[in-house]
Every structure is written in C-alpha cells, then in structure tokens.
Amino acid sequence: MADDDFEAAAALDVSFVRANLATEAEGSADWRRQKAEEHPDDARNAQSAAALERAAAEVAKLPDDDPRLLRLAQILSTDDDDLRGDYLDEESRLLSRHGFGTPKPATTDELLADLVEAADGAVERAAALKEASRQKVGPIEVWLTLRDGGFGVNCMVVRDDESTTQLDIDSLTMRGAEREITGWLLGNGYKAAGRWETMKEDRDENDLEAMRRFAPAREGATAL
C-alpha cells in the first residue's frame, strides 16, 4: 500500500490521531496506577504509569508535521477495516506494555518508533493477505473480444471475486483464439466448465465476443 494513497486523508486526521493517542496513553496510565495500588510491592506498574503519563503529555505537544503521527494517520485513514484493526490491536498491546519492567525509563520516542513499526507491519500483513487472495486458484471466466477492425483478439480472465487479468493471444481470429486459450488453460491445470457462449455477434452471425467458464482441474493449477 503506497503512502500517497493516504496523503490527503492523513493531513486531515493528524490532530485526531494526536489527541486519541494521548488519551489512550493516559487511559493506560490510569490502568497501570490501579495495578500499582493492587500490587504495591511490584514497582513495574508505577514505572509504566509514569512512562505513559509522560507519553500522553509529550504526544499532545507534537506538531502536525511530525512524520510519526503522519504515518499513523495514514493507517487510520484507510478504509481497509482489517488493516486498521490489526494496527489498533498492536497499538493497544504496545501501550499496555510501555515502560513495564524496562531496565531504564521508557521514552516517548521509543513508543512512537514501536507504533510506526506496528503500522508498517500491519501494512505488510495486509498486502500479503491480498496477494494470497489474488493467488488463490478458483473458477474463472474467459472473455474473448474481436478487436476493432477484426484484426486480433483481446482476452480477459475474470475471477470469482470479479478481479481481472489480460492475457496475450497470438491468434487473429475468434475461433483460433478459442482453441489457443482453451489449450493453454488445459495445459495449466484447468478444465472447461461449459462450451463457448456467443455474447455478441455481427449481422452475419460472426462472433464479436465470446465467453467460456473454466475451473481448476487439479492442485497446482496456474494462478491467473
């Protein structure tokens, strides 16, 4: 996912991200103070509460152009609910552990670096999931369309999620293209799931557009 996909939205949301992060840090500090009262012999809770209080105060003073806030705003501005939820789970975990049992007082810079790393990780996981979904082999429709002028054929594969891929066809006629793509798909692990259907024809009943369905015939069929 490219950064520029979110650039405009991020600029609008920085103030919200800053305020929300400061509030979340303060909420985690309150929780750690409560734990410190419940376990007065464990100094780690008070240590974490102090680090979180500092973080809340320092985050609230960050400028709008702070690159770390901008990166978080990019993630939180996306309409990918899974990506956003993945990041927010990591944010909650990092806040709950900030400054807890560290050999020296944890800094806000360290927290922000961890949050940016969590954001980048969420983006990478989302991209991997999308690629895995794209590579999943399922039934397809093959659409052949005679080019304007009748010289050459365009071939489009439509997956069951309605995403598409264009394939190169050497044949110059519809009949030749039908034979070519059918043979290629059979050799790459597919089987025909019906006959070629004429979707559009000219007044002489010559095919201008045709479609045929195919399905994976075996494991290892080529992902299109």
pLDDT tens digits, one per residue of 130-147: 776 666 678 999 999 998
> Is there a single domain that holds both residue 130 and residue 184?
no
The residue type of 149 is G
**Whether residue 80 is found in the same domain as residue 146:** no
Q: What's the domain range around 209?
A: 140-216
Domain boundary among 106, 134, 162: 134
57: helix, coil or strand? helix
The pLDDT-based confidence of 37 (bands split at 50, 70, 90) is: very high
Let me know: does 156 contact 210? Beta carbons within 8 Å. Answer: no
Final residue in a domain of this structure, among 134, 155, 189: 134
Find, among 171, 172, 148, 144, the residue nearest to 158 by Cα: 144
Domain count, the chain: 2
Give the pLDDT confidence score for residue 137 in this predicted structure: 77
Quote the tokens at residue 28. 């985690």
Residue 206 has pLDDT above 60, yes or no: yes
The rounded Cα 30 to chain-centroid distance in angstroms is 34
State residue 46's pLDDT score.
95
pLDDT higher than threshold 80 for residue 70: yes
Show Cβ contacts of residue 196 under 8 Å, excluding neighbours closer than 6 positions.
178, 210, 211, 212
| Contact (CB, 8 A) for 22 and 59 | yes
24, 129: one domain: yes
148 plus 115 within the same structural domain: no
Residues 12 and 77 in one domain: yes
My answer on whether 81 and 159 are in the same domain is no
Percentage of the residues of the chain whose pLDDT score is greater than 90: 65
Report the alpha-carbon distance of residue 184 to residue 221 in Å, rounded. 12
- Which tokens in the block code for residue 13? 């949301």
Same domain, 144 and 179: yes
d(CA 168, CA 224): 12
Q: For residue 180, give the DSSP letter.
A: H
Distance in Å from the first CA to the final CA of the chain? 21
> Both 25 and 67 in a single domain?
yes
Q: Residue 48: what pLDDT?
A: 96
| 222 part of a folded domain | no
Residue ending a domain, choose from 134, 160, 191: 134
This prediction has a pTM of 0.59
Rounded CA-CA distance 69/91 in Å is 13
pLDDT, tens digit, 9 for 90 and up, residues 80-117: 888 999 999 999 999 999 999 999 999 999 999 999 99
- 163 CB-contact burial (10 Å; exposed 0-12 / middle 13-18 / buried 19+): exposed
* Tokens read off for 76: 């939180």
Claim to verify: residue 50 and residue 99 sit in the same structural domain: yes
Q: What is the tens place of the pLDDT at every residue in 142-174?
A: 999 998 777 789 999 998 888 899 999 999 889
- pLDDT band at 204, cuts 50/70/90? low
Q: Report the candidate in 50, 37, 174 with the shortest Cα–Cα distance to residue 106.
A: 50
Pair (116, 65) in one structural domain: yes
Q: Looking at the structure, do residues 17 and 44 belong to the same domain, yes or no? A: yes
